[in-house]
Amino acid sequence: MAKNWKTKLIHPEVHAPEGFRSLADPVYRGSTVVFPDAASIRESWNPYKDGYTYGVYGTPTTLELAVRVCDLERGFRTHITPGGQAAISLANLSFLKAGDHILLPENIYGPNRKFCAQVMRRFGVEVEFYPAVDPKQGAAAVAALLRENTRLVWCESPGSITMEIQDVPAIAEAAHRAGALVFIDNTWSAGVFFDAFAHGVDVSVQALTKYVGGHSDILLGAITVLDEEAYARVASTHQIVGAVASPDDCSLALRGMKTLAVRLKSVEESALTLARWLAERTEIELVLHPAFSSCPGHEFWKRDFTGSAGLFSIVFRKQFTRSQVHAFIDKLELFAIGYSWAGVTSIVMTYDLEGTSGRPDYGSRLVRLNIGLEDVEDLRRDLEQALAGLG
Ligand SMILES: Cc1ncc(COP(=O)(O)O)c(C=O)c1O
């Protein structure tokens, strides 16, 4: 059929030569997926079984990221979501119903806590928090709180901000004995330093925003599961919730993954160097780095982890006031002040834990450091001059 030039803008008759083989992962954007004929039309959220049917259920770019994260986490299948918190919410929504009881550690990532305490409770889920300040007591605390209707137990190791390492295998054993599932926020380990599934976890969630992305320029999340049943459960909820990740962001995450190993190695070494140096400073009471014996649950890190990331916290001695801690942060030149972590830039953040339930009494003296890829001696000198400013 002869076409008007305007029609040809939409249905072109000319194409670039095929056969371009690039080292970069292509970006496939698309809502509509074109079927070859009417007989091929089908509606399925399972692209692994039925092929592609609609952009919401996956594009080659989102699924390429999914299979690679899954391989890294040694799972069965991975779902990609538009942010780490979206992965957390979707994991909760996929497995919970009214009447279920769930347990979360007191030190879990704040928005996960809020999602459960506010949204899941509103939908009839009984939400309870277990103590995590003393990781040696964690499994016993979970065992004591398990009920007949406990559907799942969340873990996060190290816990957000205060960095306690959990005895995940013991918690998993107690939870499984009671018929409950175990979910973990495995973001700190990047799915690399902690093999969640080998330690009894059933569902592993990661904010790919952090180490996989690695450059503070995307928001993505992942839910990795161990079997077809769990995959289908998350997939059907994912479809209805419509938490779709952008293929452009996924392509950046795929690029980030290629340098994950070298970035992790570098930030691990730099963080250890700086944490060692900070531990010697008279201003610092406590270094909350999982590889240090001063970090609660360090023995579980030693037993279960294969390395450490670039995120840790320090606690100033009691004589330092909130405004002195702020002055220290303001004086830093190389550390950006902001939320999030795991990018190439060093970041600093402080948290006021005064009166917070379930956290050690660090008051307003805790500072969290994300170590980036800057020269470690420059970072040390920056910390030194900021500490000197405290007088
Ligand atoms: C431990 C942890 N889990 C999950 C998230 C959520 O990730 P996102 O910011 O991509 O929603 C964060 C973000 O700070 C985090 O620190």
Helix (H, G, I), strand (E, B) or coil at 354: coil
Centre of ligand 1 from the C-alpha of residue 99, in Å: 28
Closest residue CA from atom 7 of ligand 1: 84
Q: Is the CB of 85 under 6 A from ligand 1?
A: yes
CATH 3.90.1150.10 in the chain is located at 260-388
Domain 38-258 listed as CATH 3.40.640.10 = yes
Write out the E strands in the chain: 77-81, 101-105, 126-130, 150-156, 181-185, 203-207, 221-225, 284-288, 311-316, 336-337, 347-351, 366-370
- 47 preceded by a cis bond (ω within 30 of 0): no
Centre of ligand 1 from the C-alpha of residue 79, in Å: 16
CATH 3.40.640.10 in the chain is located at 38-258
CA dihedral 367, 371, 376, 381 (to 10 degrees): -30
In CATH terms, the fold of domain 260-388 is Aspartate Aminotransferase, domain 1 (3.90.1150)
Q: What is the pTM of this model?
A: 0.97
Centre of ligand 1 from the C-alpha of residue 18, in Å: 40
Sequential pLDDT tens for the chain (391 residues): 999 999 999 999 999 999 999 999 999 999 999 999 999 999 888 999 999 999 999 999 999 999 999 999 999 999 999 999 999 999 999 999 999 999 999 999 999 999 999 999 999 999 999 999 899 999 999 999 999 999 999 999 999 999 999 999 999 999 999 999 999 999 999 999 999 999 999 999 999 999 999 999 999 999 999 999 999 999 999 999 999 999 999 999 999 999 999 999 999 999 999 999 999 999 999 999 999 999 999 999 999 999 999 999 999 999 999 999 999 999 999 999 999 999 999 999 999 988 777 889 999 999 999 999 999 999 999 999 999 988 7
Please calculate the CA angle 299-305-310 and round it to the nearest 5 degrees: 100
Centre of ligand 1 from the C-alpha of residue 292, in Å: 24
